[in-house]
Amino acid sequence: MSQADTVTRILDSAEELFAEKGFAETSLRMITTRAKVNLAAVNYHFGSKKDLIQAVFARFLSPFCSKLDKELTVMAAANTEPDLRDVLDVLARTMLTGVHSTVGTRKLSVFMRLLGLAYTQAQGHLRRFLKENYHETYSRFILYLRAAHPELSPREIFWRIHFAIGACVFTMSSIEVLRDMSMADTGEDSGVEDVMNQLIPFLAAALER
Amino acid sequence: MSQADTVTRILDSAEELFAEKGFAETSLRMITTRAKVNLAAVNYHFGSKKDLIQAVFARFLSPFCSKLDKELTVMAAANTEPDLRDVLDVLARTMLTGVHSTVGTRKLSVFMRLLGLAYTQAQGHLRRFLKENYHETYSRFILYLRAAHPELSPREIFWRIHFAIGACVFTMSSIEVLRDMSMADTGEDSGVEDVMNQLIPFLAAALER
DNA sequence: GATTGTTTAAAACGACCGTTTAAAACGAGA
DNA sequence: TCTCGTTTTAAACGGTCGTTTTAAACAATC
């Protein structure tokens, strides 16, 4: 087994388990067992559990953000005055293509769940790491949102977009629970795609009102 | 120190710490140290950590749900055909009065954060506990929502209301982080009330579209 | 094929976890 | 005041955690 294999297998297992259980509830022993590597491999290749957490985020956020950056540039070049739909379309398309990442397909729910963890379970080290590495792209995205709605104050833009993020992240974070509840309530199963198809108009209505 | 004191102090500390850090990241030693009681007191009075978690939820959900039940009855008696605003008003008012609970004032953000944990960190035992004890009130609330919008399918109602819950829970759960980010982005501080004042029209627009 | 640097392996470390035990302290009723 | 059930205390238990250590296995260079 090559080094790349070991590192990748650890990242894969860690990503799955973090998304499923959170950081504290996932032990290095679970990760290394699932990855079929030795326990010490995590500390050897990554240094510590904290560094592993950061590496998991880096692996999907770095390609995602550079893709988003490129797409924003394309958008800005094509259209002198991008409206809200344009900006959100760029985000949505980048997310969907970013999900089908370099190595196979990453589930959208895993992506969302990790994003949710970043907000709700981020200890100091992760928050600092994310800000340091991805704040630039984030600011740029927000800037285009502002440009699309110059009549709204920056504060209004900020909060509306974070309400929307909340609806997405919460929904996708607890998608299994919610699907169970929906099943119990309505008697019908809701596929993840059904949910997305309802979520998008919901968000559009809330953002554009 | 009386028994009631000990039990209450444990619940207070546990509630704060759970809301701040989550379940796994909060140890019984942290709780008992903050509560200034002996470590064994938790197992003596509650049985186990799981039982303590359930007790924390029971303490704020039980009064909340019985209040909500009463208010729903009042609403149903006063108005033969309650519309969406009526139903949501009942919920909002119950939440705000429920927050100022029997013992002092509980922060709204703590209430929301616990609600968020129930969705995103609930292990089997907590999920079962919540369903067993509070599912009845929940169903009744959903029923009124359906009656208010009979043209929408139960599935649509279910998902819209949970998207809305997501926006609330996420926002209030990470309110500190978000206020920091907003400050860094816009240069202006957003008070919690400002945020609420923007959240409500956002949700109304999304639900009623 | 010996040597060197890299990666894997097994075992152990100290720390902290939730829980249990057994004795001490307490408080109300006889 | 003595008693007896309740509550608090201090100490210990077994177990799991993240991390470290030491040696073995491996791969590339000469």
DSSP per residue, chain B: --HHHHHHHHHHHHHHHHHHH-STT--HHHHHHHHTS-TTHHHHHTSSHHHHHHHHHHHHHHHHHHHHHHHHHHHHHH-SS--HHHHHHHHHHHHHHHHS-SSS---HHHHHHHHHHHHHT--HHHHHHHHHHHHHHHHHHHHHHHHH-TTS-HHHHHHHHHHHHHHHHHHHHTHHHHHHHHHHHHSS---HHHHHHHHHHHHHHHHH-
**Which region, left, alpha or beta, applies to residue B107 given φ > 0 means left and ψ of -120 to 50 means alpha?**
beta
Identify the pLDDT of residue B12: 96
Mean pLDDT on B173-195: 86
Residue B149 structure tokens: 């919008």
DSSP code at position B36: T
Q: For residue range B53-78, what is the model confidence (pLDDT) as tens digits?
A: 999 999 999 999 999 999 999 999 98
- Chain B positions touching A25 (Cβ under 8 A) are 24
pLDDT at B103 over 50: no
Site of tokens 């009124």: B144
Name the nt closest to B5 by C-alpha to C1'.
D7
Identify the pLDDT of residue A95: 84
pTM of the model: 0.90
- CB interface of B with A, residues 121-160, below 8 Å: 121-122, 127, 139, 142, 153-156, 158-160
- CB interface of B with A, residues 11-40, below 8 Å: 22, 24-25
Q: Under DSSP, is residue B78 helix (H, G, I), strand (E, B) or coil?
A: helix
Q: For residue range A158-188, what is the model confidence (pLDDT) as tens digits?
A: 999 999 999 998 888 888 889 999 999 999 9
Q: For residue range A109-151, what is the model confidence (pLDDT) as tens digits?
A: 788 889 888 888 878 899 999 999 999 999 999 999 999 999 9
Show Cβ contacts of residue B205 under 8 Å, excluding neighbours closer than 6 positions: A205, A206, A209
The Å distance, CA of B44 to C1' of D5, is 15
Chain C positions within 7 A of any protein Cβ atom are: 6-12, 16-22
pLDDT band at A100 (very low <50, low <70, confident <90, very high): low
pLDDT at B3 over 70: no
Judged by CB atoms closer than 8 Å, whether chains meet at A167 and B169 is answered as: no
Task: Flag whether residue B109 sits within 8 Å of chain A, measured between CB atoms.
Answer: no
pLDDT band at A98 (very low <50, low <70, confident <90, very high): low
